[in-house]
Amino acid sequence: MTKKVLLTGDRPSGQLHLGHYVGSLKNRLALQNSGDYTCYVLIADVQALTDNFATPQKVRESVYEVALDYLAVGLDPALTTIAIQSQIPAIAELTIFYLNLVSLARVERNPTVKAELTTKNFGAGVPCGFVIYPVSQAADITFCKAHVVPVGVDQLPMLEQTREIVRSFNSYYGEVLVEPEAMLAEDEQSRRLPGTDGNDNKMSKSLGNAIYLADSAEVLWEKVRSMYTDPQHLRVEDPGHIEGNTVFTYLDVFDPDKAEVARLKEHYQRGGLGDIKVKKYLFEVLEAELAPIRQRREEYMQDLGYVRQVLEEGTRKANEVAAETLNAVKTAMHINYFES
């Protein structure tokens, strides 16, 4: 039986945080370890450059930060091919071909791109590369003919766009590409983990409400200590609300001891349970999950030569597969002039 193909990616624009972890990384790990998939993970530096073109050094450093995060959470280079987008020229070529299959109006309708346009400050104007990054993402997903793409909800429009491109390509040129499916985290709260400020839109670096996988225990405690709870819960004896209370949302997501979470919720709602107590408990829960990740991350940091080797080898493997797909694409498009 040939295995199904899984691909996903991240923009290297900083370190990965808990939102990435529960929204997508955990799914990738489970699928990687299931043995049922051929797995690819792409560090999408070309995409990161669409809005960080003025600071390429930051993108370059983030490639390593993200790679360290991957290895620290348990992505295994023997099971998952980790590759750098810019070093796979076939992706750029596929992007150019796909651009003919997408109307200008269609790229402008993408809700995630629209939302990003309002938060990013493109002083001198919106770069073309930014508006069309969903098309380049279709090339990311199709170079290895991925079936499954574990992502956060904000990426659903990219998957829809990719599926449209695949259908269009296959109908003009013949069945070459594979229509991918998104895979979301199981529960609603993990799909869109709120930030520490209670912003339930999402945790993000630009909003300054993120807990990073690489955060030290001290920084973690500082972030948990100042987390958004119930603004009406002023005195310990008062009854508190758990709805929209980020500390309890995180406990739901991270604490395996559901009975204890239920007990804490009941006590909090009844009154007599202080915020600081719950926060200390949450800190312990998070620390239990993050301490081993942090530890492994530090070990890999001591061995950047190994990390580089992983990236180089992964990129080499990805290039092999990408070249095959590109060949099939060019043949289907009748632009294989020099093939015998």
Instruction: Please identify, using beta-carbon distances, which residue of 10 and 230 lies nearer to ligand TRP.
Output: 10
Q: How far is the CB of 216 from ligand TRP (least distance, A)?
A: 25
Between residue 143 and residue 182, which ones bind ligand TRP under the rule CB under 6 A?
Answer: 149, 151, 155, 158
Residue type, 258: K
Residue range at the interface with ligand TRP (CB under 6 A); choices 32-40, 136-144, 258-266, 304-312 = 136-144
Question: Is residue 88 part of the contact set for ligand TRP (CB under 6 A)?
Answer: no
When binding is defined by CB under 6 A, the residue of 39, 42, 59, 94 that contacts ligand TRP is 42
Question: Is residue 8 part of the contact set for ligand TRP (CB under 6 A)?
Answer: yes
Residues whose CB falls within 8 Å of the CB of residue 335, separated by 6 or more in sequence, listed in order: none
For residue 178, how many other CB atoms are within 10 A of its CB?
A: 18
Q: What's the distance, Cα to Cα, between the start and end of the chain in Å? A: 31
Between residue 209 and residue 248, which ones bind ligand TRP under the rule CB under 6 A?
Answer: none
Question: Is residue 44 part of the contact set for ligand TRP (CB under 6 A)?
Answer: yes
Question: Is residue 141 part of the contact set for ligand TRP (CB under 6 A)?
Answer: yes
CB 40 within 8 A of CB 31: no
When binding is defined by CB under 6 A, the residue of 10, 65, 230, 275 that contacts ligand TRP is 10
For residue 224, how many other CB atoms are within 10 A of its CB?
A: 23
Residue nearest to ligand TRP (CB): 9
**Nearest alpha-carbon partner for 152 in 308, 288, 331, 16:** 16
Whole-angstrom CA distances from 220 to 12, 134, 209, 255, 286 are 22, 34, 12, 16, 8
CB 223 within 8 A of CB 196: yes
Between residue 105 and residue 134, which ones bind ligand TRP under the rule CB under 6 A?
Answer: none
Instruction: Please identify, using beta-carbon distances, which residue of 49 and 273 lies nearer to ligand TRP.
Output: 49
For residue 223, how many other CB atoms are within 10 A of its CB?
A: 19
3-state helix vs strand vs coil in the chain, percent to 5: 60, 10, 35
Residue count at the site for ligand TRP (CB under 6 A)? Answer: 15
Instruction: Please identify, using beta-carbon distances, which residue of 24 and 229 lies nearer to ligand TRP.
Output: 24
When binding is defined by CB under 6 A, the residue of 5, 6, 11, 297 that contacts ligand TRP is 11
Question: Is residue 95 part of the contact set for ligand TRP (CB under 6 A)?
Answer: no
Q: Which x/- pattern over 46-85 shows residues binding ligand TRP (rule: CB under 6 A)?
A: -x--------------------------------------
**Nearest alpha-carbon partner for 160 in 94, 106, 237, 238:** 106
Residue range at the interface with ligand TRP (CB under 6 A); choices 42-50, 61-69, 183-191, 314-322 = 42-50
Q: How far is the CB of 166 from ligand TRP (least distance, A)?
A: 14
Cβ burial of 81 (10 Å; 0-12, 13-18, 19+) is: buried
Residue type, 230: D
| Nearest-angstrom CA–CA distance, 143 and 19 | 27
| Nearest-angstrom CA–CA distance, 35 and 31 | 7
Residue range at the interface with ligand TRP (CB under 6 A); choices 5-13, 67-75, 94-102, 120-128 = 5-13
| Nearest-angstrom CA–CA distance, 331 and 316 | 23
Residue range at the interface with ligand TRP (CB under 6 A); choices 137-145, 224-232, 237-245, 270-278 = 137-145
When binding is defined by CB under 6 A, the residue of 51, 69, 140, 255 that contacts ligand TRP is 140
* Binding stretches for ligand TRP (CB under 6 A): 7-11, 42, 44, 47, 137, 140-141, 149, 151, 155, 158
